Amino acid sequence: MPQDHDAANERTRLLYHVTNERRLSQLLQQQDEETRSIAELAVTKDEQHMLGSTVGERLPYNDYTTIDWLHDLVKDSYRHRYINSRKGLRYKLISIFEACSGWIAAAIVGTLTACVAFVVDVTEATVSDWKLGFCTINPLLNREACCQHKTPLLRMRSEAADGCENFKVWTGSYWGSFAIYVAWALAFGIVSSSTTMLTKRSLPAVAPSQMDKAQSQDADAPLEPLTSGKSMYMAAGSGIPEIKTILSGFVIPNFLDLKVLLVKAFGAIFAVATGMCLGKEGPFVHISTCVGYMVGMWFPKYRDNGRKLRELLSAACASGLSVAFGAPIGGVLFSYEEISTYFPRKVLWRAFLCSLFAAMVLKQLNPTGTGKLVLFETNYGTSYQPVHYAVFVVLGIAGGVFGGVFCQANFKWSKWFRVYPIIKNHPVFEIFLVVLATSVLQFPNPLTREPGDIIIKNLLVDCRSEASASTWVCQNEARNSDGSVNGAYIIWLTYGTVVKLLLTIITFGCKVPSGVIIPALDAGALFGRLLGQLIPSISPGIFAMVGAAAFLAGISRMTLSLCVIMFELTGALEYVVPHMVAILVAKWTADAISAEGVYDLAQTVLGHPFLDPDHALAIVRKRNLLVEALVPPKQTMDEITVRVPPSNCVPRAVLEQKLRLLLRRGLMDAGLVLVRDPADPTAPSASATSSVSRGSGILQGYIAEGELEFGLVRLGPLHAADAEVRLLGDAQADGEFDLSGFVDRTPLSVCAKAPLEYAVELFGKLGLRYLCVTEEGTGKLVGVVIKKRLVSFLEGLKEEDRR
């Protein structure tokens, strides 16, 4: 009876009577200096103060695993209370700095992001013009800067150099210019892609052959290191799908390093200069997040807490789009709507400050030479009429069809074309082919010969303005004597729209820094300008502007943030309502064709784990599923379950065997679940080593793989190989091999018969790392679900829907 009473107390006890911090310090004092330094590095002072709590100890996160949002929330509270409980001027100053550190970090991130963007913008404009000629005054100047006193701002750079003696074209021959254009583009593409190859990294994983071999090996064999798994080019693409994965709680190692930032910036310069259907706006978001990560490493508040770090990264994303479009408010909304899954009010304020500093610094640096943030300033001098709403709806429908078709076609293209060995193993060769096709198809068309941002600037022009009358677009839009439109010009607009669609499909996803925002705006502006030729009563530039927003909405499914970006981008606040109409119609149309936007599909193609609660609930809602559908197989549960006897101790050999099985499975964010074993306490070894059947044992706690490995590898050498390890309760003797401080004594659980929506909401809204599943009525453990298992299960349901 006393033993039963003690066991009952053990199941309900939440606090320790003996301070775990003292026990850990005793263990550290017994280690040699090298081992002690490793332990102190792995267990921070803030985490040592948490050892007396019931949330369990966490160590630095393993590669490509999940963070524990709840644990980091408690950890930040412990840090805050510890600092504020201390007396003296020093801790008062530390407390003030801690309160201001978020604002300071946000301001620094915005400033540094603007500096990087300035260098990329100026360099890209110069390099891109080398395909046409060079500035005789200074080869490092772009054509616009070289001819700023000779050539109108909106002059087509593809025209002859008449009136601009400072810019010398390579040759006056059309075919010679064509050949030089293609040669420079191919050279730029090879440089960009080859540089991107420098950021190839392999994520740790366990190969299937080794897993099979591991099952046949002796359980006492030494632990084997994990082999390399999936390879990633960290600087390739826009980076937005990976950032969404990181901000949702996962960890992608090396993705935000300084090397990736430098390669991303350098590669984006030459990738955009090729003239391919890509933009540098997506890479700017990645660059700003890299800056946010490196700045966060300067502050202990962010360096030691994954949850807090992601708050700073969300704010940093806003500055990336702010410098890309000169749209500080749109950047904040973009981070909130499109990228972040966790965006509390304080993150909104800091994102606002970060975006503000980025815009202020960029305006002073003045990369465009206009002294303004607005990139494509428009002033049409006319307003739309109610009858034009029908045209805006048509533009929205066209944008939705374009977006839906693009998402599906790009997804299928990636699954088909990029699996060929020659393309998969030689990404530079794919860039060579894409650049060649792009140059050959775009150069003959004067509308698409330019970089993407210049295309938009030329298509938004108002031909009623005297300053724009000499541009190529306005000259071709001049009506013939009979009132008809130039037929060749209509053909070029149609040709440009189709080519942009096709080239963007095959370009997005190539192994160079690239974004999809500018190509979508280009295609929409071309189609809008084409449609505007049928409506002579109003400037066609208005329809080009609204069409650009509609096409981007169809691809990305952005709404509020896109509307704000467009009026910040053009300064045309009067046309907010047409933008709203077209954007909403485009989103509805695109959703009817493809439920997921381009970034969601890119995450699927790249194989990144991501949990979007809204999309997940939409998938689960179609089926009548219960949480028990997520319960792992019996063999898996046998491997991860430890039955703890009333003595609260199990043999060390059992834990080492369990750890070995975890490592061989390759799930680095898994762990062991502890259940109460009611067996005879005189035979703890037998009870601890016996297999557990599904539904047996009352849940007692959970110890993650990282903590278990640290305890056995770093602290374990202090004890004999046959030592008993305490997992629950309080230590009774000094120097006892005690890992109870690493056990989460209050793991969250849900009933197996609960609707599956419960699990989706718990993982999505609370940011859980794992969730225990218990039997209805008895409370016995039946399974443990980690976040990756839920994501994999939802991906399977999604594949069923696609079929």
Q: Is the pLDDT of residue 42 over 90?
A: no
Instruction: To the nearest 10°, report the CA torsion of 84, 90, 96, 102.
Output: -100
Distance CA 315, CA 101 (A): 13
Query: Alpha carbon of 354 to those of 246, 323, 713, 757: distances in Å?
Result: 19, 11, 42, 36
Q: What are phi and psi of 699, to 5 degrees?
A: -60, 130
237 backbone φψ class: left, alpha, beta (φ>0; ψ -120 to 50): left
- Dihedral angle sign, alpha carbons of residues 36, 307, 757, 596: negative
DSSP-based three-state secondary structure for 509? coil
DSSP-derived 3-state class of residue 555: helix
Summarised one tens digit per residue, pLDDT across range 50-105 is 544 555 444 433 446 778 777 778 777 777 787 777 777 887 887 788 888 889 99
777: tokens are 């009525």
* Cα–Cα dist 249/245, whole Å: 7
- Count of Cβ atoms closer than 10 Å to residue 502 Cβ: 15
193 exposure class (CB count in 10 Å sphere: 0-12, 13-18, 19+): buried
How would CATH label the architecture of 386-610? Orthogonal Bundle (1.10)
| SS3 per-residue string spanning 685-726 | HHHHHCCCCCCCCEEEEEEEHHHHHHHHHHHHHHCCCCCEEE
Which is more confidently placed, 516 or 48? 516
146-184 residue pLDDT tens? 776 444 433 444 444 445 777 778 888 888 889 999 999
In the chain, what is the greatest distance between 2 CA atoms, to the nearest angstrom?
107
Residue 255's SS3 state is coil
The pTM of the full predicted model, rounded to 2 decimals, is 0.83
Name the E strands within 418-562.
none
* Cα 210 from chain centroid (whole Å): 31
Residues of the chain with CATH 3.10.580.10: 2-60+621-802
Where are the CATH 1.10.3080.10 domain residues in the chain?
67-132+174-207+233-370, 386-610
Tokens of residue 322, six digits? 């702010």
Q: How far apart are CA 642 and CA 368, in angstroms?
A: 64
Report the alpha-carbon distance of residue 510 to residue 431 in Å, rounded: 7
Burial of 85 (0-12, 13-18, 19+ CB in 10 A): exposed
- C-alpha–C-alpha distance, residues 19 and 24, integer Å: 9
Work out the number of other CB atoms within 10 angstroms of the CB of residue 523.
31
Q: Which fold has domain 2-60+621-802?
A: CBS-domain (3.10.580)
Confidence of residue 114 (pLDDT cuts 50, 70, 90): very high
CA distance 527 to 540: 10
Please give the pLDDT value at position 106: 92
Cβ–Cβ < 8 Å for 468, 301: no
The reported pLDDT for the residue numbered 43 is: 47
- Terminal CA-CA length for the chain: 60
**11: confidence class by pLDDT, cuts 50, 70, 90:** very low
Q: Is the pLDDT of residue 696 over 80?
A: no
C-alpha span between 289 and 317 (Å, rounded) = 6
DSSP code of residue 511: S
- The mean pLDDT of 110-129, rounded to a whole number, is 90
Cβ neighbours around 535 below 10 Å, total: 14
Residue 581, C-beta contacts closer than 8 angstroms, at least 6 positions apart: 389, 392, 393, 396
CA 624, CA 569: separation in Å to the nearest integer? 46
Residue 416 pLDDT level (bands cut at 50, 70, 90): confident
Q: What is the mean pLDDT of residues 615-640?
A: 84
Give the pLDDT score at 737. 76
pLDDT top residue among 714 and 547: 547
CA atoms of 754 and 308, how far apart (whole Å):
32
- Paired tokens of 6: 């003690």
Pairing of strands 227-233, 781-786: unpaired
Count other C-beta atoms under 10 Å from residue 206's C-beta: 18
Alpha helices in 449-559 (DSSP H): 452-459, 472-477, 487-507, 517-532, 540-556
d(CA 59, CA 67): 10
Q: Which CATH number fits domain 67-132+174-207+233-370: 3.40.50.10680, 1.10.3720.10, 3.40.250.10, 1.10.3080.10?
A: 1.10.3080.10
The secondary structure element, H or E, covering residue 171 is none
